[in-house]
Amino acid sequence: MDTLNTLSDSDINREVKAQLAIDLNCSPGDFDSEGFIFCEAIEHPRRRPFPRDATHFQMLNMGGATVVSVTPDILPGIREQLSDKSRDEAFSMPFVVGNMYYFYYLPSNMTLLPLPDRVELTVVEKGEVELLYTVPGDFSNALQYDLSHNRPDVLAITAKVDGVVAGIAGASEDCAMLWQIGVDVLPEYRRHGIAAVMVNRLANEILKRGKVPYYGTSSANIASQRTALKAGMTPAWVVGSSV
């Protein structure tokens, strides 16, 4: 893990926009336009397999236009409610779940972080990730704990302190190119930079495999946001959704 091999930032942005366009049923170029783009939400066979209700609403912004993807039955009403709103007003509408947003981060010109004292990292490949399911502790942010999950665990990094697994960062294969990173550190080992180092090193391992690592957290989770920034990840898009 001593060499950082990455896709270029333009490669990463292209792949992400292509996948998000599939997810929202828009065009990749829409994210770079202005105002609001309204799209009918459809069940595309290559969308990331996150669950959806029969009535679906999602609003996403990457710094340009706000793309709103909605099931056809509520699209006219949503379009009318947002017709005279700014971006910030739209994300504060009462139908956005508790005004809770989710921030997503991508690597950009990352460098490897030094290891904290007494920490040993181990890369765990796809065929062995399931062995981590028996490690003592709750690592449910990092692992699916399910071999048949539709977003399977494909890669992980463990952090040991004096031989004890103190933390795990895991990658789920959310689609062909985008692997999402989750991380957990046991309470007694937190606040020592272990989470950021694991995210940093796991992102590097994902990039070395020609895939795009991304990291998501809620707007209320300041600790997780700090971890992403310390790891060398950069804010890339924000999502709001409805009940």
Instruction: State pLDDT tens for residues 219-240.
Output: 999 999 999 999 999 999 999 9
Domain match, 141 and 228 both:
yes
Is the residue at 75 inside a domain?
yes
**CATH label of the domain that carries residue 179:** 3.40.630.30
Instruction: State pLDDT tens for residues 179-230.
Output: 999 999 999 999 999 999 999 999 999 999 999 999 999 999 999 999 999 9
Angle at 30 between CA 25 and CA 34, to 5 degrees: 135
Pairing mode, strands 178-185 and 212-218 = parallel
Domain match, 128 and 226 both:
yes
Is the residue at 65 inside a domain?
yes
Q: What is the SS3 string spanning 25-94?
A: CCCHHHHHCCCEEEEECCCCCCCCCCCCCCCCEEEEECCCCEEEEECCCCHHHHHHHHCCCCHHHHHCCC
In this structure, the number of other CB atoms found within 10 A of the CB of residue 54 comes to 6
- Look at residue 99 in the predicted model and tell me its pLDDT: 65
Domain match, 113 and 217 both:
yes
Is the residue at 242 inside a domain?
no
Pairing mode, strands 102-107 and 212-218 = antiparallel
User: Which helix (H) or strand (E) covers residue 170, if one does?
Assistant: strand 164-173
Domain match, 93 and 136 both:
no
Domain match, 16 and 73 both:
yes
* 62-79: average pLDDT: 96
Give the model's confidence band at 97: pLDDT under 50 very low, under 70 low, under 90 confident, else very high.
Answer: confident
Whole-number average pLDDT of the chain: 94
Domain-ending residue, one of 54, 86, 105: 105
Domain match, 100 and 114 both:
no
Is the residue at 241 inside a domain?
no
Is the residue at 1 inside a domain?
no
Domain match, 32 and 122 both:
no
Domain-ending residue, one of 39, 70, 105: 105
Residue 2 predicted with pLDDT over 90: no
Q: What are phi and psi of 164, to 5 degrees?
A: -105, 135
Is the residue at 213 inside a domain?
yes
Give the model's confidence band at 242: pLDDT under 50 very low, under 70 low, under 90 confident, else very high.
Answer: confident
Domain-ending residue, one of 80, 105, 130: 105
Domain match, 90 and 143 both:
no
Domain match, 90 and 178 both:
no
Helices 222-230, 194-208: axis angle to 10 degrees equals 50
Q: Which domain holds residue 217?
A: 108-233
Domain match, 144 and 199 both:
yes
pTM, 2 dp: 0.94
Residue 1 predicted with pLDDT over 50: no
| Cβ–Cβ under 8 Å, residues 116 and 192 | yes
* 141-157: average pLDDT: 96
The edge-to-edge listing of strands for the beta sheet with 66-70 is 36-40, 66-70, 57-61, 233-241, 102-107, 212-218, 178-185, 164-173, 153-161, 119-125
**Count of domains observed in the chain:** 2
Is the residue at 58 inside a domain?
yes
Closest CA to 196 of 164, 139, 157: 157
Domain match, 213 and 178 both:
yes
**CA distance linking residue 231 with residue 202, whole number of Å:** 10
Is the residue at 174 inside a domain?
yes
Which stretches within the chain are classed as H helix?
9-24, 75-82, 87-91, 126-129, 194-208, 222-230
Instruction: State pLDDT tens for residues 7-38.
Output: 899 999 999 999 999 999 999 999 999 999 99
Instruction: State pLDDT tens for residues 44-62.
Output: 999 999 999 899 999 999 9
What percentage of residues in the chain have a pLDDT greater than 90? 90
Domain match, 156 and 90 both:
no
